[in-house]
Amino acid sequence: MALSQAKKSSDSLIMGIESSCDETAIAIIDTDKKIYANDIFSQIDLHQLYGGVVPEIAARSHLEVIHQLAEYALSNNNLTLQDIDSIAVTAGPGLMGGLMVGVNFAQTLAGILDIPCYGINHLEGHVLSVRLEHDIPFPYLVLLASGGHCQILAVRGVGNYHLYGATLDDAAGETFDKIANLLNLSYPGGPAIEQAAKNAQQIFDFPRPLTDKANCDFSFSGLKSAIRRKILQADTLDAQQVANISASLQQAVVDIFQHKLQHAIAFFHDDFPEQQKIPIALVGGVASNQFIRQSLNDFCAQNNAELYCPSPKICTDNAAMIAWAGLEQQMNEHQASTITIRPRWSIHQPQENLTEVSHYV
Ligand code: KG4
Ligand code: ZN
């Protein structure tokens, strides 16, 4: 079949597929970082009734929409399946049912088209996502803050990650979600808290757990409990109180991030003494918060570092970051091989180690 009009013959197009949790996502990008499609079907409405993601409902929904979403991504760009040169699919961490739908779909397509298929670690997708939109060279520091993870890593190169620290309990995004629930705000909690915090006062001095420790580990459960107590003590919860609690929570999270990045910068200096100005990438859903971005931007300016953030649509779960991680592997001549689905899979340990405990929920 002839190449469609939309694609230059020199481009190498990759399709990204993401189905690890409650979003089905398909993206098509090329080696020049052009994003043709970055489409997402969110299942939030399906799970809201149950107060959390129901794995069976998630898997069924992925199965129902994945074909249509892929067809839409292609046809909307005057592309056909034959224009796709490779595929990248999330192979973990995440919910087994959703991962199976995505990986089976990807491998079937790749088999029919006789093209390579890369199994991507979802966290690696987030960590490399910043390079899709910015020319940020290796090595760089990453603060990954999402609904299931909160960790700081040194990124030495593709597939070469060193963990400086991670959360011992809840993730940052999870904290926003749980507090938003207590405040009767909508799900996901992060955007609702950010909105509520506008023009509010940071009057509550909530705890900043583990900031007295000279390491990069996080803990958010004490912060969550303190806010829960504050809410239970309040006679009424009016809009101004909700706003003030939201603003105080955001400030506590910023302070925790800054403390931990301070230690990470010192570790990074020891590991890469030749690096003058340290590039810091803030990635994952929480990175779409403008208050946190601005605060960390100021912090970096004062600490001889430079902050890079993906655009909001690349911060929250999407398939463009999975496609990009696939292209990064391809450009580094990693071989696409048989894909093993790994519901638990950290990025800083060898892939063979399947027994480690991931913080994904
Ligand atoms: O990266 P992501 O889309 O999914 C995971 O891999 O977990 O992150 C989702 C998390 C949710 O907890 C959500 O509340 C949080 O990111 N989030 C935000 C904002 N937008 C999404 N947190 C704070 N401020 C936001 N604007
Ligand atoms: Zn994610």
* Confidence (pLDDT) at 24: 98
Q: Which of 126, 142, 146, 174 is the best mutation target for the ligand 1 pocket, counting ligand atoms within 8 Å of the beta carbon and taking the most?
A: 146
* pLDDT given for residue 333 in this prediction: 84
Q: How far is the CA of 125 from the centre of ligand 1 (A)?
A: 15
Between 359 and 256, where is the model more confident? Answer: 256
The tally of CA atoms less than 13 A away on the side-chain side of residue 343 is 9
Model confidence pLDDT, tens digit, residues 85-111: 999 999 999 999 999 999 999 999 999
Ligand nearest to the CA of 360: 1
Q: Which of 150, 313, 316, 358 to mutate to test the pocket of ligand 1 (most atoms within 8 A of CB)?
A: 316
pLDDT of residue 49: 80
Tell me how far the alpha carbon of residue 282 lies from the centroid of ligand 1, in angstroms.
Answer: 12
Q: Does the Cβ of 317 fall within 6 Å of ligand 1? A: yes
- Ligand 1 nearest-atom number relative to CA 360: 7
pLDDT (tens digit per residue) in 229-271 = 999 998 889 999 999 999 999 999 999 999 999 999 999 999 9
Q: For ligand 1, is residue 286 a contact (CB within 6 Å)?
A: yes
Please name which ligand lies nearest the alpha carbon of 322.
2
| The predicted structure's pLDDT at residue 360 | 29
Place of tokens 């706003």: 243
Q: Which residues contact 274 (CB under 8 A, 6 or more apart)?
A: none
Is the distance from CB of 270 to CB of 131 less than 8 angstroms? no
Q: What is the pLDDT of residue 6?
A: 53
For the ranges 189-198, 204-213, 304-313, 350-359, the lowest mean pLDDT is seen at 350-359
State residue 359's pLDDT score.
27
Model pTM score: 0.94
Structure confidence by residue, pLDDT tens digits, 265-289: 999 999 999 999 999 999 999 999 9
Q: Write the DSSP assignment of 271-285 as a string of letters.
A: H-TT-SSEEEEEESG
Task: Let me know: does 336 contact 116? Beta carbons within 8 Å.
Answer: yes
Q: How far apart are CA 208 and CA 247, in angstroms?
A: 14
| Residue 39 binned pLDDT confidence (cut-offs 50, 70, 90) | very high
Nearest atom of ligand 1 to the alpha carbon of 191: 26
Mean pLDDT along residues 21-46: 96
| Residue 351, pLDDT score | 52
Measured in angstroms, how far is the CA atom of residue 331 from the centroid of ligand 1?
29
CB 184 within 8 Å of CB 237: yes
| Closest listed residue to residue 232, CA positions, set 215, 245, 217 | 245
